[in-house]
C-alpha cells in the first residue's frame, strides 16, 4: 500500500501472531491500485492528497477517522475515505485499495453529469467518508465491473500494450468510482 498511501505504521493485530502479507501495487496515470492478501494487521495513514476506495474481497476493515468508526466487509464491500489521516484494522486482510486525486474524480463526475443532463451534483461527497453497501442493482453491477477491470490490469501489466492502454483504463476506473459515489449519474436507463 505504501506506493499509493503514506503509511506511517503497520504491524500484526495480535502479539506473537504469525504474520504474512502479500501486496502488489501499480500506478495508472493518476490512479494508484494496490491489492493485498494476508494476516490481520493494523496500519496508520498520514494526511494525503488522494481519496481512497477500500474494497473488500473477503476481509473486514475497521477505520477510525476524526473520532468516527467506519467499516467494510463482504456484505458492505466499499469504503470511500477522504485524504485525511486514519487508523485501520484489517481482519483477514483480503482486498483492494484504489487511490485518486479528488479533482480527477470531481472532473469525471462533472463530465458524467453533463452526459446525462444532471442538474446538480454535490461534490462534497468527495470530502467525507462513505460506506458503500450493501450494494444492489446498478451499484452492484458497477462494483462488479470495477473488480473485473482491476483483474484485467493484472493481465495487461505484463504486456507491451500496457502504456498505450493507460489513459483509457484510468478514465474507466474514475468513471466506475464516480458512478459508485454518485448513483444518480448511472440510474435506470443510463
Residues 116-159 have pLDDT tens digits of 998 789 999 999 999 987 777 788 888 888 888 877 776 655 44
Name every residue whose Cβ is closer than 8 Å to that of residue 50 and which is 6 or more positions away in sequence. Answer: 4, 5, 32, 83, 99, 100, 101, 102
The pLDDT confidence band at residue 190, using thresholds 50, 70 and 90, is very low
pLDDT single digits (tens) 92-114: 777 888 999 999 999 999 999 99
Mean pLDDT (whole number) for 56-71: 91
For 50, the grid coordinates are: 488522494
Query: Is pLDDT larger for residue 84 or for residue 161?
Result: 84
| pLDDT confidence of residue 119 | 79
Say what percent of the chain tops pLDDT 70. 89
Does 50 score more than 70 pLDDT? yes
Q: pTM score > 0.75 for this model?
A: yes
Amino acid at each position: 500500500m505504501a506506493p499509493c498511501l503514506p503509511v506511517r505504521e503497520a504491524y500484526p493485530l495480535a502479539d506473537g501472531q504469525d504474520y504474512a502479507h502479500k501486496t502488489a501495487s501499480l500506478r495508472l496515470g493518476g490512479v494508484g491500485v494496490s491489492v493485498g492478501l494476508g494476516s490481520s494487521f493494523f496500519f496508520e495513514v498520514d494526511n494525503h492528497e488522494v481519496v481512497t476506495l477500500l474494497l473488500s474481497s473477503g476481509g473486514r476493515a475497521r477505520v477510525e477517522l476524526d473520532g468516527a468508526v467506519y467499516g467494510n466487509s463482504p456484505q458492505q464491500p466499499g469504503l470511500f475515505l477522504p485524504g485525511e489521516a486514519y487508523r485501520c484494522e484489517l481482519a483477514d486482510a483480503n482486498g483492494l485499495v484504489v487511490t485518486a486525486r479528488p479533482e480527477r474524480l470531481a472532473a469525471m463526475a462533472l463530465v458524467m453529469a453533463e452526459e446525462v443532463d444532471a442538474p446538480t451534483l454535490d461534490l462534497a461527497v468527495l470530502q467525507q467518508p462513505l460506506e458503500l453497501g450493501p450494494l444492489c442493482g446498478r451499484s452492484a453491477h458497477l462494483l462488479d465491473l470495477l473488480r473485473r477491470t482491476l483483474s484485467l490490469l493484472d493481465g495487461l501489466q505484463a504486456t507491451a500494450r500496457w502504456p498505450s492502454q493507460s489513459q483509457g483504463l484510468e478514465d474507466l476506473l474514475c468513471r466506475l468510482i464516480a458512478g459508485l459515489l454518485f448513483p444518480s449519474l448511472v440510474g435506470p436507463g443510463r
